[in-house]
Structure 1
Amino acid sequence: MRPIAIKILTIILFAIAGISLGYAQPSKSSAKITGALLDEKGKPMDYATVSLLNAADSSVVKGTLSNDAGTYAFDHINTGTYIIKASVVGYEKTASKPFSVTDGSIVTVPGLKMQQASHALNAVTITASKPLIEHKIDRTVMNVENSVIAAGNTALEILERAPGVSVDKDDNISIKGKQGVTVMINDKLTYLTSTQLATLLRSTDGTTIQSIEIITNPSAKYDAAGNSGIINIKLKKNKQSGTNGSVTLGAGYGSTFKDNGTLTLNHKEGNLNVFGSFSHDDRKREHTLNIKRIVTDSTGAKTYFNQFSSIPNDNHNNSYRLGADYDISSKNTIGFLVNGYFNKEQDDNANKTYISTQPNVVNSYQTTTSQINQTYNNIALNLNDRYKIDTAGQELAVDLDYSKFKNNSAAHYDTYFYLPDGSTMAPPVFLRNQTPSVITIRTAKVDYTYPINKILKLETGFKLSDVKTDNNLQAQKQVNGSFINDTTLTNRFVYTEKVDAVYANLSQNYKNFSIQTGLRGEYTSSIGNSITNNRVVKRHYFDLFPSVFINQTLNDKNEMGLSYSRRIDRPGYDDLNPFVYYLDQYTYQKGNPFLNPQYTNNFEFNYTYNKSITLTLGYSHTSGAITQILLTDPKSKATYQTNLNLQSQNNYNVNLYAPYTIAKWWEGNVNVTGFYLKFKTDTLLGGKLDNGKAAYQIRTTQTFMIAKGWKAELSNYYNSAMTYGIFNIKPQYATDAGISHSFANKKANIKLSMSDIFNTRRNDVTSYYQSNNLDIKQKNESRITRLTFTYNFGNNKIKVRQHQSGADDEKGRVKGN
């Protein structure tokens, strides 16, 4: 461990211990019973049925299921003598010896070993139907696995349907109106910027996703990045013995044809588990854009621009995943994983811009056609080791990761200038550029869990990350029939960033009360080197990120919690890159190498009634808020997009989630989010920004069991108008529906769905601030009908159920796809 990491860890441990001294004594309460289930090899036995029986008459007092770690717990137990009984398909039933419980005690039952039954059960299928949306104490879970509407969609399209989540025109993901979301896959960071992340999520077939977790206030164990929280995408895992898998084939049609397919394979025998998957999809998507803007020069003269663009995307995505887990012993599991993607995209854009000096009178116009061919390649390697030191929960986990991205783009832009009558106004301009980029990420992470006693647990660890990006924009302009280097656009930018992090969490669980205090320290060292411009920006800074979580169970139906955490968002790699990305001579995008990180303090109160209805109140304050804005060059009259640090951003939010059952065959839920988002800064474009507006989002989902083997879903959402920085975002709304049928002994499933049935989903934005006078109307192809077929094959015999440890994707804050 680097020296500074050791120092920070020492500080954190002492700080956490000091904070927790006042909570060391448990209050009087009713009794609690805990224990663990193991198989014949000593591995945790998950999802077994556990019953608490009266020793006197064997009557059932309570029942539960063991969790992923094989543990179980019973709360609010009266004084008496009891027996624990456990059962699971394929294993002999087992029971504990009688034990006594006194008032306020915490009893740990010795681990129970379950022996495999003498005969195997053939073709046994156990189906547990989870609701589409689950609200837990620290997160909201969207169970995608059995969703009809998810079939044929990508991970990005499914995210757009998650409660409180929205995706804007540039694929930026927001939670409750706030950007700055950190995305994880199987509890591992994706070190990607919004554009690179969008490519990864478009390459991920929805049929490979088990669930999506939305964590709005993460603990110190998680990376401190992400001011609005974390979205954790859980991929499916196959725990059946033998060789098995599934194949998924899909087709869709909107304005163009789309197809997708996924093959998954799994082989589990003895101590070895090997798994893999491959997904491919072809999709062409239409996108239309209309931009109206008024540019005012220093003399007060106005120029009117009216731009129409057709921007179709033709994507061919391929993603793969191959890994293995091996149980060295009953306590130690090692694994490796290699995953990645290789994608191609072609954009054939057509832009037409009318230019006027007064409204509704065209003085000239220009057309720009562009052809952009892009390739995206990624490979990620992971080695992991999980060592369960004892059955009390002491555990050590190690992860080593390496990721490499190689992206290439070649673009041609042809611009022609005309007078209103169609005659040539000026000679055409021909430009081309190449933008190769390489991003390399290395990380090492160690996590250690130590139960100090029955009520006190310590979690600690450290993480080292090392990122390097190398972007080389090469631009040429045609002069006298030959292309020559354009020095105004050509640039090479190299960015390196190292983050050393350590953390410690101390949690205490009493009868009806629990508290967790945490502290994370991160030291960041970065260098942004614009080689062409001979400009270097260096940064070195250390930050502490405390977190506190308190939960109180009032009674069987009422529970409430309070949480706080401090977060950071470092600028995206491309947001720092001073490159100019050209659309036409009046429209482009450029980075800002002087962006600083933003810091957020999050507070959240939640209340749960009857373990189903939840109410959440939240407040966050962000200083140095990284915000997308538009600037205008008064000389060239060009408008360009970039990012700046604003003084502050405040967010007040409330969320209500309520599931309901109308009949045995008709269930649903409603999720309502209200928020007030306010941006403030003293100087911006020559003025003072103090802009805020209340907004709300409503999403309802209904599930209908219309007949045996038949299931239907209906989903509706509405996002009201809202304000973000200098932009005013207009309302959005849509309706999705689908139906599925399972047959062939539930091995086969066919799903038919349609997204945005009424074709209402739009992304329209205006900006009227200081010199900005802008109106953007855009429409992505959103009404798509999909037919998806899935077939599960292979050995379905239940032999050995073991806890499976595997590693998944690890990437980051990249951009450039």
Structure 2
Amino acid sequence: MKQLFTVLILLIICANSTIAQERSGKISGSIKDESGKTLEGATVTLNRSPDGALVKVTIATKQGSFEFDKLADGNYLIAVSVAGFSAFKSEPVKLSEQRSLELPAFVIKKGDKSLAEVTVTGKRPLIENKIDRTVINVEAAPTNAGASALEVLEKSPGISVNNDGVISLKGKQGVIVMMDGKPTYLSATDLANVLRNLPASALDQIEIMPNPPARFDASGNSGVINIKTKKSRADGFNGSVTTGGTISYYKRGNSYLAPLRSTTSVNLNYRKGKLNLFGNYNYNYREGRSDMTMERKFYEKNGTLNSISNSNTEFNGLNNNHTVKLGLDFYADKKNVFGIVLNGFGFWGFPKPVSTQTISAPDGSVESVLKSITTNNLTFFNYSSNLNYKHTFDSTGRELTVDFDYIGYSNKSETVLRTDVYDGAGNNTGRLMLRGDIPGVINIYSVKSDYVHPLKKEMRFEAGFKTSFVKNDNEVDYSRDLNGAWVKDSRSNHFVYKENINAAYAQINKKWKKWSAQLGLRLENTVAEGHQVTNDSTFRRDYTNLFPTTFINYEANKNHTITLSYGRRIERPNYQDLNPFTWFLDSLTFRIGNPYILPQFAHNVELRHSFKGQFTTTINYTVTNDVIAQILKQNTEQRITFLTIDNVAEFRNIGIAINA
């Protein structure tokens, strides 16, 4: 790794050594009225073309002249604003091999209104297809008015959201969702709750990356969605408060149920001078009612049917959670910005599944009936902090960003499982009691830095690194009621998992005529250690992988654009799947973790055609090795069913999507 970081630093130094040559361009000109008189004091704005991004602003001299120096190659627009005259905007001008460009005098016409300033603006399209992502401009769709962030996502191309709020991208779950370039570090359910309470009016753009570039972590085969929120630029205080609730009526048996859901959200922002303060608070209350019916058949090794188990489970419960976010941005000067963001999330849940299982012989006669009630008391806390710094070197877009992150999780589950056993005649033959105390703590520390350097001839170089440390400490303490005394159960366990990932990447972009390309390479080294404290067994894995990414884009004309992309991805098992613990649904159904799961690797290829930036056809092909999958297993003698996680064979997937 030391050699890799040395090479990365040398690349940045070499890129820096050429910046003086690349920024030697100059554009100059003069401003006159219709009579030929020079206009002193006019405001002259230089913007990049075609996106209109501001580059520099200057004031015309007494001779009506202006000059912009230290410019990179590229296309520019010039706008002029002066009191008593109409606004003026030039045609695009190109600065390339001609390092010094002197423009003909701009002639400004008299106007009826005095203008204090001019802004080069253009209506943004709803969808922008870029070489490595699809960008949704939220305000461009009138139907987004009054919607939530989750509803906006659901209407975005390639994204689907199920009834529980789980987000999928091109049919695959496990998508990484980021907010303003920062990972959310929330579960799918918790993230859905946050997005339900975030109004669409607070969103600027949504970036969809089924095949993310090298700048992003290689983890996650489903891609990345980055939600960019609006930033308040006006001085002063502003905020909003929203609240709402729903009641759903449905019938269960002979009774009617009406679970309640309510939400409250408060958003505040204060900006003054160099300081920007922001914060929000969300509260969610949710009552849950659901049913699950299962039929399981148990067979002997010779294929003979042994028994049949039919179960019906009613899930009743409620949960409430609080989310808090506080942040500060300090604009030290035009080139340096410091920031801090604090997040907190608290969850309290009380699910209470009630199940009835009937075990029958192959001829249908009832052998036994088990009635179980599970009482749960769940608490979960997530707290995180981010320190960030951004330095802008010049107007060309050269910048350096640094982020320090800490994320902590603390959870505890207190469970009591009571099962009454009846024989085929309905006689109670006994009661089983199991009590569980399951605490867990996860701590994550990370630091990353990204460097962006525009080069000459419409090229751009990017490089960066990231290192993260994870410690996951989980314990499960089960005890069983034996003749009125609680005795420690053999399935109790204590598991400690540590993980260190070091990564570095570099990528380069190039545009020429109708073509553009982006090549990237990311290297990730993973060191993982697991320790089962109960039996003092350990394992260690150390592996290094390369993750190339390639994007090629051809713009045939203003109506047709074709993009071909390739990327290699990794999907590491999540921390809970690695815990070798037993979680009970009822006395005969449970889930077991697997500490020996290997990561899965995928090759993703995508071909995309865009017509007028609105009608998009996509064909994607994925090959995944060592697929991580849930496996259902049975024990015929004990008549138990359990779910575990393991690596299975290769998986190939092809998909076609059309979005309009």
Note if 1:207 corresponds to 2:193: no
Judged with a 3 Å threshold, the aligned counterparts in structure 2 of structure 1 residues 365 and 151 are, in CA distance, closer, same or farther, namely farther
Q: Which has the larger Rg? A: 2
Partner of 2:544: 542
Deviation at 1:223, TM superposition (A): 0.5
Q: Gapped runs of 5+ residues in structure 2?
A: 16-24, 28-43, 58-74, 104-112, 250-258
2:495 and 2:367 mapped to 1: Cα distance?
39
Partner of 1:263: 266
Note if 1:432 corresponds to 2:435: yes
Judged with a 3 Å threshold, the aligned counterparts in structure 2 of structure 1 residues 616 and 162 are, in CA distance, closer, same or farther, namely same
Partner of 1:385: 389
Identity level (%): 34
Deviations 1:333-383 (A, max 9, x none): 101110121111110111111111126433221111111111111111111
Other structure's SS at 1:340 match: strand
Note if 1:646 corresponds to 2:648: yes
For 1:796-815, list aligned pairs within 5 A. none
Note if 1:604 corresponds to 2:595: no
Note if 1:467 corresponds to 2:470: yes
Partner of 2:282: 279
Note if 1:633 corresponds to 2:635: yes
Other structure's SS at 1:312 match: strand
Contact 1:445–1:461 (CA under 8 A) maintained in structure 2: yes
Partner of 1:233: 227
Judged with a 3 Å threshold, the aligned counterparts in structure 2 of structure 1 residues 343 and 203 are, in CA distance, closer, same or farther, namely farther
Partner of 1:371: 375
1:642 and 1:412 mapped to 2: Cα distance?
22
Deviations 1:237-281 (A, max 9, x none): 333321111111111111322211111111111111110000111
For 1:581-730, list aligned pairs within 5 A. 581-658=583-660
1:340 and 1:259 mapped to 2: Cα distance?
20
Deviations 1:567-613 (A, max 9, x none): 11111111111101011122111111111011111111111111211
Judged with a 3 Å threshold, the aligned counterparts in structure 2 of structure 1 residues 119 and 99 are, in CA distance, closer, same or farther, namely closer
The residue type paired with residue 450 of structure 1 is H
1:150 and 1:374 mapped to 2: Cα distance?
36
Contact 2:306–2:636 (CA under 8 A) maintained in structure 1: no
The residue type paired with residue 254 of structure 1 is S
Partner of 1:483: 486
Deviation at 1:529, TM superposition (A): 1.2
Equivalent position to 1:506, from 496, 505, 508: 508
The residue type paired with residue 206 of structure 1 is L
Other structure's SS at 1:393 match: coil
Note if 1:242 corresponds to 2:224: no
The residue type paired with residue 3 of structure 1 is K
The residue type paired with residue 474 of structure 1 is D
Deviations 1:162-202 (A, max 9, x none): 5434467997654323344223222123446xxx3423432
Contact 1:180–1:569 (CA under 8 A) maintained in structure 2: no
Deviates more, 1:471-480 or 1:626-635: 626-635
Contact 1:49–1:66 (CA under 8 A) maintained in structure 2: no
Judged with a 3 Å threshold, the aligned counterparts in structure 2 of structure 1 residues 454 and 108 are, in CA distance, closer, same or farther, namely farther
The residue type paired with residue 233 of structure 1 is I
Partner of 1:224: 218
The residue type paired with residue 431 of structure 2 is P
2:53 and 2:96 mapped to 1: Cα distance?
26
Partner of 1:747: none
Deviation at 1:641, TM superposition (A): 1.0
Deviation at 1:225, TM superposition (A): 0.7
1:103 and 1:137 mapped to 2: Cα distance?
23
Other structure's SS at 1:363 match: strand
1:371 and 1:127 mapped to 2: Cα distance?
58
Contact 1:12–1:519 (CA under 8 A) maintained in structure 2: no
Other structure's SS at 1:309 match: strand
2:338 and 2:101 mapped to 1: Cα distance?
29
1:605 and 1:500 mapped to 2: Cα distance?
31
TM-score, length-scaled by structure 1: 0.66
Judged with a 3 Å threshold, the aligned counterparts in structure 2 of structure 1 residues 51 and 400 are, in CA distance, closer, same or farther, namely closer
Judged with a 3 Å threshold, the aligned counterparts in structure 2 of structure 1 residues 93 and 67 are, in CA distance, closer, same or farther, namely farther
Deviation at 1:86, TM superposition (A): 6.3
Partner of 2:398: 394
Q: How much is the aligned-residue C-alpha RMSD, in angstroms?
A: 3.8
Deviations 1:412-471 (A, max 9, x none): 1110111344321x2100111111110100000010111222422110010010011111
2:125 and 2:283 mapped to 1: Cα distance?
28
Equivalent position to 1:577, from 576, 579, 591: 579
Deviation at 1:101, TM superposition (A): 5.5
2:263 and 2:144 mapped to 1: Cα distance?
15
Deviations 1:262-309 (A, max 9, x none): 111111111111100001111112221111111113353421111111
Deviations 1:694-753 (A, max 9, x none): xxxxxxxxxxxxxxxxxxxxxxxxxxxxxxxxxxxxxxxxxxxxxxxxxxxxxxxxxxxx
2:379 and 2:207 mapped to 1: Cα distance?
30
- The count of aligned residue pairs is 592
For 1:101-500, list aligned pairs within 5 A. 131=126, 136-141=130-135, 155=150, 162-166=156-160, 173-191=167-185, 196-204=187-195, 205-207=197-199, 210=203, 211-255=205-249, 256-298=259-301, 300-358=304-362, 360-424=364-428, 426-488=429-491, 490-500=492-502
Contact 1:456–1:508 (CA under 8 A) maintained in structure 2: yes
Partner of 1:6: 5
2:100 and 2:643 mapped to 1: Cα distance?
61
Other structure's SS at 2:639 match: coil
The residue type paired with residue 415 of structure 2 is A
Equivalent position to 1:66, from 52, 57, 72: 52
Other structure's SS at 1:575 match: helix
Deviation at 1:314, TM superposition (A): 0.9
2:225 and 2:389 mapped to 1: Cα distance?
24
Other structure's SS at 2:5 match: helix
Other structure's SS at 1:436 match: strand
Contact 2:45–2:78 (CA under 8 A) maintained in structure 1: no
1:69 and 1:367 mapped to 2: Cα distance?
71
For 1:738-757, list aligned pairs within 5 A. none
Judged with a 3 Å threshold, the aligned counterparts in structure 2 of structure 1 residues 528 and 218 are, in CA distance, closer, same or farther, namely same
Judged with a 3 Å threshold, the aligned counterparts in structure 2 of structure 1 residues 213 and 303 are, in CA distance, closer, same or farther, namely farther
1:247 and 1:128 mapped to 2: Cα distance?
29
Higher relative contact order (CA 8 A, sep 6+): 1
1:108 and 1:467 mapped to 2: Cα distance?
54
Deviation at 1:230, TM superposition (A): 1.3
Q: Gapped runs of 5+ residues in structure 1?
A: 18-32, 36-47, 53-62, 72-80, 111-116, 659-817
Contact 2:132–2:551 (CA under 8 A) maintained in structure 1: no
Other structure's SS at 2:366 match: coil
Deviations 1:731-785 (A, max 9, x none): xxxxxxxxxxxxxxxxxxxxxxxxxxxxxxxxxxxxxxxxxxxxxxxxxxxxxxx
Deviations 1:304-324 (A, max 9, x none): 111111113411111011011
The residue type paired with residue 650 of structure 1 is R
1:224 and 1:597 mapped to 2: Cα distance?
12
TM-score, length-scaled by structure 2: 0.81
Other structure's SS at 1:487 match: coil
Deviations 1:528-548 (A, max 9, x none): 111113221210000011111
Deviation at 1:495, TM superposition (A): 0.6
Judged with a 3 Å threshold, the aligned counterparts in structure 2 of structure 1 residues 301 and 179 are, in CA distance, closer, same or farther, namely same
Judged with a 3 Å threshold, the aligned counterparts in structure 2 of structure 1 residues 201 and 282 are, in CA distance, closer, same or farther, namely same
Partner of 2:40: none
Judged with a 3 Å threshold, the aligned counterparts in structure 2 of structure 1 residues 163 and 456 are, in CA distance, closer, same or farther, namely closer
Contact 1:154–1:202 (CA under 8 A) maintained in structure 2: no
Contact 2:95–2:101 (CA under 8 A) maintained in structure 1: no
